[in-house]
């Protein structure tokens, strides 16, 4: 993107790549905003750490897009920020109009609790769209545009950057760059750093949510051995963020909601399991999940976990169907064979 933007002949193509990159990155924010429970947005699983991951999810969203709004509108275009033109301070419930750099430790969590996450998400969307419009209106010659004392004073006078030592440096930092420099920071690299941090935060929250909960998913899979375990909190927690759950209107996977309706612990307790095609059982190539559920029905959850450990010791695989195949009986037979191995090893 940077090299395309840097050449006159490929400048327009570079801006297209930048806008696409932003779209891709934003899809991570959309996923998080859509999938995670309210409390996830104000928890600080890495509090005190040195890095962007020490913040909260919603603080990160606010911070990325406040900076972008200030730079796009007050600094570059000299017009009204989206925060004010869209009445977003009121909608989001934010007690501040600044970038949040001045907030420390617990203040970040307290600030995060006050925000309406959905409204913050829509504010982020509105800022992204407005910046994309500004980026598309740029010409190659704009890249070398620098900023004057007057531009700097306009940013200062907006009071959108705190005078706290951890925030005030931003004004000089932005104003010493030309437009090309701002394309890197804050319009792309700043996103990448904070969104990567958001992914670390949400993954840690999922892992913490799963701790101490039953590791056998309602469909029969073992969360401890699942290839999605880094970013799914499990179907027995509020962090049920696997793709099957995410595609459902209530964000609960069909096997989970069906088990809950039937008041059973998992599909392994259901007498319709053999013919069931719901959720994970509806995919043509994952009878292996059902085989695990049948194994649990016969031998119990603890034994399934032991067999899964054994399979992972012997094979290098991600998805269980890579080892159990797609034939239900054969899958169950492989599990039982490995169960016997575990029993022999124990003796
Ligand atoms: S996808 Fe299912 S098995 Fe995997 S971690 Fe999530 S709930 Fe557990
Ligand atoms: S009907 Fe299917 S999804 Fe529902 S509990 Fe039974 S096996 Fe599970």
* Per-residue pLDDT reduced to its tens digit, 216-244: 999 999 999 999 988 899 999 999 888 78
Domain ranges of the chain: 2-204, 212-346
Q: Is the pLDDT of residue 262 over 90?
A: yes
- CB neighbour class for 288 (10 Å; exposed up to 12, middle 13-18, buried from 19): buried
- If one compares 41 and 284, the residue with the highest pLDDT of the two is 41
* Per-residue pLDDT reduced to its tens digit, 48-58: 999 999 999 99
Cα–Cα distance measured from residue 277 to residue 299, given in angstroms and rounded to the nearest whole number: 23
Query: Mean pLDDT, to the nearest integer, of 250-266?
Result: 94
Cα–Cα distance measured from residue 204 to residue 298, given in angstroms and rounded to the nearest whole number: 34
Predicted pLDDT at 343: 77
- Atom 6 of ligand 2, residue of closest alpha carbon: 270
The token duo for 170 is: 């931003």
Q: Is the pLDDT of residue 342 over 90?
A: no
Cα–Cα distance measured from residue 283 to residue 255, given in angstroms and rounded to the nearest whole number: 13
* Lining residues, ligand 2, CB within 6 Å: 255, 258-259, 262, 267, 270, 272-273, 276, 278-279
Query: Mean pLDDT, to the nearest integer, of 299-303?
Result: 96
Report the mean per-residue pLDDT for the chain.
Answer: 95
Cα–Cα distance measured from residue 47 to residue 42, given in angstroms and rounded to the nearest whole number: 11
- Find all residues with CB under 8 Å of 85, minimum gap 6, and list them: none
- If one compares 183 and 342, the residue with the highest pLDDT of the two is 183
Ligand 2 center to 326 CA (angstroms): 19
Q: Is the pLDDT of residue 278 over 60?
A: yes
- Atom 8 of ligand 1, residue of closest alpha carbon: 223
Ligand 1 center to 274 CA (angstroms): 21
Supply the Cα-derived Rg of the chain in whole angstroms: 25
Side-chain half-sphere exposure of 344, counting CA atoms within 13 A: 7
Predicted pLDDT at 259: 97
Q: Is the pLDDT of residue 285 over 90?
A: no
Write the class of the CATH domain 2-204: mainly alpha
* Per-residue pLDDT reduced to its tens digit, 70-85: 999 999 999 999 999 9
Q: What is the value of pTM for the model shown?
A: 0.89
Predicted pLDDT at 345: 64
Predicted pLDDT at 280: 87
- Atom 6 of ligand 1, residue of closest alpha carbon: 234
Identify the three-state secondary structure at position 216.
strand
* Per-residue pLDDT reduced to its tens digit, 157-214: 999 999 999 999 999 999 999 999 999 889 999 999 999 999 999 999 999 999 999 9
* Per-residue pLDDT reduced to its tens digit, 11-39: 999 999 999 999 999 999 999 999 899 99
Cα–Cα distance measured from residue 230 to residue 206, given in angstroms and rounded to the nearest whole number: 7
Specify the residue for token string 């759950």.
245
Q: Which of 62, 24, 49, 61 is nearest to 198 (CA)?
A: 61
Closest ligand 2 atom to residue 270 Cα is: 6
Cα–Cα distance measured from residue 295 to residue 264, given in angstroms and rounded to the nearest whole number: 17
Pocket mutation for ligand 1, best pick of 35, 209, 215, 221 (most atoms within 8 Å of C-beta): 221
The token duo for 319 is: 């998805």
* Per-residue pLDDT reduced to its tens digit, 80-117: 999 999 999 999 999 999 999 999 999 999 999 999 99
> Quick one: pLDDT band at residue 248, thresholds 50, 70, 90?
confident
């Amino acid at each position: 993107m940077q090299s395309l933007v840097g050449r006159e002949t490929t400048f327009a193509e570079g801006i297209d790549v930048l806008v696409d990159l932003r779209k891709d990155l934003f899809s991570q924010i959309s996923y998080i905003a859509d999938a995670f429970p309210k409390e996830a947005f104000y928890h600080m699983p890495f509090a005190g750490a040195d890095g962007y991951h020490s913040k909260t999810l919603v603080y990160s969203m606010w911070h990325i897009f406040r900076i972008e709004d200030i730079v796009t509108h007050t600094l570059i275009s000299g017009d009204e920020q989206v925060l004010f033109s869209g009445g977003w301070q009121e909608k989001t419930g934010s007690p501040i109009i600044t970038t949040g750099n001045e907030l420390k430790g617990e203040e970040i969590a307290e600030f995060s609790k006050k925000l309406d996450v959905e409204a913050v998400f829509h504010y982020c969307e509105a800022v992204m769209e407005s910046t994309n419009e500004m980026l598309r209106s740029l010409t190659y010659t704009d890249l070398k545009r620098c900023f004057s004392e007057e531009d700097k004073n306009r940013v200062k006078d907006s009071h959108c950057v705190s005078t706290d030592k951890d925030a005030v440096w931003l004004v000089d930092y932005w104003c010493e760059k030309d437009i090309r420099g701002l394309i890197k920071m804050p319009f792309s690299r700043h996103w990448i750093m904070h969104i990567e941090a958001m992914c670390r935060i949400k993954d840690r929250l999922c892992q913490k949510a799963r701790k101490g909960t039953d590791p056998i998913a309602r469909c029969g899979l073992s969360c401890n051995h699942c290839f999605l375990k880094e970013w799914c909190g499990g179907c027995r927690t509020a962090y049920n963020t696997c793709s099957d759950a995410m595609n459902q209107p209530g964000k609960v996977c069909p096997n989970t909601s069906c088990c809950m309706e039937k008041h059973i612990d998992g599909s392994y307790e259901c007498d319709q399991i053999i013919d069931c095609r719901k959720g994970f059982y509806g995919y043509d190539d994952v009878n292996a999940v059902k085989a695990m559920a049948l194994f649990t029905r016969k031998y119990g959850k603890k034994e399934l976990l032991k067999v899964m450990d054994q399979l992972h010791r012997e094979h290098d695989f991600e998805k269980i169907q890579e080892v159990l195949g797609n034939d239900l009986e054969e899958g169950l037979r492989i599990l039982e064979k490995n169960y016997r191995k575990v029993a022999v090893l124990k003796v």
